[in-house]
Amino acid sequence: MFIPDVGRDNEKNRNEWLRITLAQLPDGSRILDAGAGELKNRQFCTHLEYVSQDFCEYNGKGDEHALQTGKWDTSKVDIVSDIINIPVDDCEFDYVICTEVLEHLPEPILALRELTRVLKEGGVR
């Protein structure tokens, strides 16, 4: 039986899109990576003022099947908080990125409201 490779390049495609898109942002722009985990997006933000946020409670074990590695390092996250209550002032960031997070939240709309709160007027998420 033939099983197509549908979805097997999602991470590669997302990373390429992020690399291209983030490279176009003006130097020095302040960006929040919400749900940053192990800071994999930081590599695309060297020209930006990169700030990471994560709740830092995931340990990588999951159900010990599939993609879980049993290890997860969030020791370099800048802001440790719930994504629905990020301890920063309103309108702090020019841009917000949030990848692979919303599908894990019981109420993703609350997270979107919070990300909108921390975004400057005219900012992009």
The pLDDT value given to residue 68: 60
The pLDDT value given to residue 7: 65
The pLDDT value given to residue 73: 83
Domain ranges within the chain, ordered by starting residue: 26-124
- Phi, psi angles (nearest 5°) of residue 118: -85, -10
| Residue carrying structure tokens 């020095």 | 28
Please choose, from the candidates 83, 117, 86, 85, the residue with its C-alpha nearest in 3D space to the C-alpha of residue 103: 83
Strands (E) across the chain are located at 30-34, 49-54, 79-80, 93-97, 119-124
Q: Give pLDDT tens digits along the chain (125 positions).
A: 545 565 677 888 999 999 999 999 999 999 999 999 999 999 999 999 999 999 987 766 666 655 565 677 889 999 999 999 999 999 999 999 999 899 989 999 999 999 999 999 986 65
CATH number of 26-124: 3.40.50.150
The pLDDT value given to residue 50: 98
pTM, two decimals, is 0.85
